[in-house]
Amino acid sequence: MDDKVWTHLQKNSDGVLILFDGFDEFKRDENIAEAPTSSPEWFVTKKLLEGASVLTTTRSTALSGLRHLSFVKAYEILGFSSEQVEEYVYKFAGGGKKVGETLLHRISSNMNLLSLCYVPVNSLIMSTSLLQILQFESPAAAGVTLPFKLTTIYKIAVKVFYVKSTKDFCDKCFTREDFESDYLPPDVEKKFKNLARVAFEGIKEGKLIHGGNEVRGMEDSPLFHRLPDRQTSALQTSERQFCFIHLTMQEFFAARHLTT
C-alpha cells in the first residue's frame, strides 16, 4: 500500500471499514505467519488502525479461531425460511406463475431438496437446473417430468453455468439430453477431470486457495475465481492465486474425482 494512503487511513481510522469475508478460508501457513497483520486479530484488538470498524464472516467450523476476540455484535445467518425459498423460486422463474409453481412443486415434493434450499446457493443451483430443463418442455403440459436426484441436479447446474460462461459454447444450441447425459466433449471432459483433481486435493488438505502452479492450464476456467496475487517474502515475487467460485462447486468436483 502506498505510504501516503496508509498515513491517511491512520489519521482517519474512524471512517475505515475492514472486511474479512470468509475467515474459515484463511489458512495460517508459514508465509501468512510471517505477516500477522493479515489476521483480523490485529485490527479487532486495535493493534492497527484504532477506531476502524471490522466486519468478519465465517462458517461455524472456524469460530474457535475468533472466540478470543471481542466483537461488539455477533449474528448467525440461518438461511432461507420456507416462505423465502418460495419467494426466491418465483422470482427466479421470472414472474411466470405457472413456471414458478412447477419449479416449486418439484422442490417441495422432495424433502431432501427442500431442506437443502434453506442454503441460498442450493436454491440457486436447483432453480437453475430445473428451469433449464423446463425450457425444453411446456409447463402447462400434463405430466412434465423434472429431475429429482440431487447428483443429476448438480450436474445440470454445472453444465449450464459452464456453457453459458464459455465463449466456445455461447452460440450453440443444446437439448435436454445434452444437459442430463453424462457425456462431455473430450476436451471438456479433460478439463473437468483436472478440475476434479484440484478440488479433491484441496478438500483433502483443507485448502481452498490454489496457487498458479496447481491450476496451470485451467486459469481461464469460469469455475475459478481469480484472487489477488500473494506476495512471497523470500524472493520479493508474487504468486497467482485462485479459488473455486463457491465451496459447493469444489465439493461437487471433489466428489466427481472419487467416482470417475
Q: What value does the mean pLDDT take over residues 94-119? A: 89
Return the sign of the alpha-carbon dihedral for residues 19, 220, 120, 204: negative
How buried is residue 199: exposed, middle or buried, by Cβ count under 10 Å (0-12/13-18/19+)? buried
CA nearest to 208, candidates 239, 247, 240: 247
Of residues 39 and 216, which shows the higher confidence score?
216
The whole-number pLDDT of residue 249 equals 92
Tell me: the pLDDT tens digits for 186-216?
999 999 999 999 999 999 988 888 988 899 9
Phi-psi map region of 256: left, alpha, beta (phi>0 left; psi -120 to 50 alpha): alpha
pTM, 2 dp: 0.71
- The overall average pLDDT reported for the chain is 84
Place of cell 430445473: 130
The whole-number pLDDT of residue 22 equals 77
Return the sign of the alpha-carbon dihedral for residues 250, 253, 259, 260: negative
**For residue 29, pLDDT beyond 60:** no
Neighbours of 4 (CB within 10 A): 8
Most confident of 68-82, 136-150, 175-189: 175-189
Tell me: the pLDDT tens digits for 208-249?
889 888 999 898 999 999 888 877 665 567 788 899 998 889
Q: What is the spatial distance between Cα 18 and Cα 49, in angstroms, rounded to a whole number?
A: 10
The whole-number pLDDT of residue 33 equals 37
Neighbours of 131 (CB within 10 A): 21
